Amino acid sequence: MSWLRILHETTYRYKTAVRFGPHRLVLRPREGHDVQVKDMRLEISPAFELKWSRDVFGNSVATADFLRPADQLAIRSEVILQQTAPFPLRSGRPATPVPFPVEFSGLESVVAAAYQATTFPEDVARVKQWVGATIDLNAVSGAEEAVAAVALAIRKTVEYRRRDAKGVQTPSETLALNSGSCRDMATFMLEALRVLGLPARFASGYLDCAASEAGRASTHAWAEAYLPEIGWTGYDPTLGEATSRDHVVAGVSNHPRGVMPVSGTFFEQKDAYLGMTVTVKTERFASAPDLTAAKPSETGTKLNQQANHSD
């Protein structure tokens, strides 16, 4: 068992005060048998009203409606997590590997089909060509080994580069450049898994690593494949390996745009926008941290929860 503190700060700056449309926040980590959110605090400026909902993928989504214009929009999320089980839980794997190609039961196949559908149909031929030329599928033993081979091949093919530009590259763009952000690489992996007939979804969240411990990180992204008898299984193409307890999922979707950490609009001239900064800092504890400190009130610009810009 261990505890993890995640501090995520996003700031947008403008030349003059602008009016804001609703902003969608996918910041609260997904809970389960291995992760529990023990505390979450949001500080947002300017003044706002907040409502929470669950989307079609089961993500916790906060929608902020702003009450006045401002020349800066700041969102600060602080989360305390308790990680209660070994992750990933390899002991629960079937005695023999899940066969590849995969077959799904009638109950699973309907849902799986939504995650097998390509996001970039014009790139399918290019992605198939890359998979055929790069990965020896005859050498893999089972479906999970095929997923691992895709993640490792992308790690060897694509050079990681942090990008602040909005949106993601298409798989063809990533292949042409031989570089991309973690979101670009996760998007590429989604399409590579899908051409192999595997249901795949985009995962957005945090990676506890040296950069985040130093307060120099941003949000992170990877891909998950659904395998019969095993379930959703995460692999990180930026690292070329399976996800671990250091990966904290905030949101999942069949499309990269479905789980942007922060997304919204403003209504003045586009040239009013000066830029944004994002920082993520993590801190791990061997025992429970003190959660009794005074919490901000639910008025003004602060709120506690147990929680076209984007970061």
User: Do 223 and 235 form a contact (C-beta atoms < 8 A)?
Assistant: yes
**Per-residue pLDDT at 173:** 97
* Residues 130 and 201 both lie in one domain: yes
* Residues 78 and 95 both lie in one domain: no
Q: Report the predicted TM-score, pTM, of the whole model to 2 decimal places.
A: 0.91
User: Do 188 and 180 form a contact (C-beta atoms < 8 A)?
Assistant: yes
Cis amide leading into 101 (omega within 30): yes
User: What's 281's domain CATH number?
Assistant: 2.60.40.2250
Q: Is residue 89 very low, low, confident or very high in pLDDT (cuts 50, 70, 90)?
A: low
Would you say residue 310 lies in a domain? no
**Domain membership of residue 275 as a residue range:** 2-84+260-290
**Per-residue pLDDT at 106:** 87
User: Do 182 and 120 form a contact (C-beta atoms < 8 A)?
Assistant: no
Query: Which residues are CB-contacts of 271 (< 8 A; sequence separation ≥ 6)?
Result: 15
Would you say residue 249 lies in a domain? yes
Query: In this predicted model, what pLDDT tens digit does every residue of 113-164 receive, in sequence order?
Result: 999 999 999 999 999 999 999 999 999 999 999 999 999 999 999 999 988 7
- Residue among 67, 53, 58 at smallest CA distance from 25: 53
The answer, yes or no, to whether residue 166 has pLDDT greater than 90, is no
* Residues 217 and 101 both lie in one domain: yes
**Per-residue pLDDT at 251:** 98
Q: Is residue 90 very low, low, confident or very high in pLDDT (cuts 50, 70, 90)?
A: low
* Residues 171 and 61 both lie in one domain: no
Give the SS3 label for residue 177: helix
* Residues 35 and 146 both lie in one domain: no
The answer, yes or no, to whether residue 273 has pLDDT greater than 60, is yes
* Residues 275 and 239 both lie in one domain: no
**Per-residue pLDDT at 305:** 35
Query: In this predicted model, what pLDDT tens digit does every residue of 93-111 receive, in sequence order?
Result: 667 889 999 999 988 999 9
* Residues 223 and 276 both lie in one domain: no
For residue 277, which phi and psi values (nearest 5 degrees)? -130, 140
User: What's 185's domain CATH number?
Assistant: 3.10.620.30
What is d(CA 59, CA 244) in angstroms, rounded to the nearest whole number? 20
Would you say residue 304 lies in a domain? no
**Per-residue pLDDT at 85:** 73
* Residues 68 and 95 both lie in one domain: no
- For residue 143, CA distances in Å to 105, 195, 227, 241 come to 16, 13, 7, 15
- For residue 172, CA distances in Å to 177, 215, 255 come to 9, 33, 16
Would you say residue 150 lies in a domain? yes
Number of domains in the chain: 2
Would you say residue 305 lies in a domain? no
Q: Across-strand partners of 248?
A: 206
Would you say residue 303 lies in a domain? no
| Distance spanning both ends of the chain, measured CA to CA | 31
Query: In this predicted model, what pLDDT tens digit does every residue of 277-289 receive, in sequence order?
Result: 999 999 999 888 8
More confident site: 213 or 306: 213
The answer, yes or no, to whether residue 62 has pLDDT greater than 50, is yes
